Amino acid sequence: MPTRALPTAASLARAGCLALLTSALAGPTAAQSTTRQWQYAAGEGGRGCQLTMVEVPLAQPGPGEIQVRIHATSLNGRDRYMLLGNCRPAGPEGQVALSDGAGEVIAVGPGATRFAIGDRVVSTYFAEGFIDGRRPQGAMDYLRGTPNTGMLSEIVVDDEDGFVKVPDYMTYEEAATLPIAAVTAYNALFKYGGMLPNDYVLLEGTGGVSSFGLLFTVAAGGKAIITSSSDEKLARARRYGAFGTVNYRTNQDWEDEVVELTGGLGVQHVIDVGGEDTRLKALEALGNGGHMALIGGLTGFGGAIPVQAIFGKDATISAYHTGSRADFEEMNLFLEGHRIHPVIDRVFQFQHSDDAFDFFENGDFMGKVVIAM
Residue range 32-90, pLDDT digits in tens: 899 999 999 887 776 778 899 999 999 999 999 999 999 999 999 888 888 887 777 78
SS3 content of the chain, % helix, strand, coil (to 5): 30, 25, 40
Residue 302 is predicted with a pLDDT of 60
Instruction: Give the integer Cα–Cα distance in Å for 267 and 8.
Output: 66
Report the run of H or E that residue 49 belongs to, with start and end: strand 49-57
- pLDDT for 31: 67
Q: Which fold has domain 193-319?
A: Rossmann fold (3.40.50)
34-42 and 49-57 as β-strands: parallel, antiparallel, unpaired? antiparallel
Within the chain, all domains assigned CATH 3.40.50.720 are found at 193-319
Reported as a single tens digit per residue, the pLDDT across 16-26 is 333 332 333 33
What is the Cα–Cα distance from 372 to 74, expressed in whole angstroms? 9
What's residue 55's pLDDT?
97
Predicted confidence at residue 19, as pLDDT, reads: 33
Is the dihedral angle over the CA atoms 363, 43, 101, 211 positive or is it negative? negative
27 band by pLDDT with thresholds 50, 70 and 90: very low
Q: What is the pLDDT of residue 4?
A: 33
CATH superfamily membership of 32-180+342-372:
Medium-chain alcohol dehydrogenases, catalytic domain (3.90.180.10)
- Least confident window among 158-167, 250-259, 305-314: 305-314
Rounded to an integer, the average pLDDT of 137-156 is: 95
C-alpha to C-alpha distances, 51 to 153, 164, 295, 355, 362, nearest whole angstrom: 13, 28, 26, 10, 16
> Is the CA virtual torsion 249, 250, 253, 256 positive or negative?
negative
Domain with CATH 3.90.180.10 in the chain: 32-180+342-372
What is the pLDDT confidence band of residue 2, given thresholds at 50, 70 and 90?
A: very low
Q: What is the pLDDT of residue 30?
A: 52
| Whether the Cβ atoms of residue 48 and residue 83 lie closer than 8 Å to each other | yes
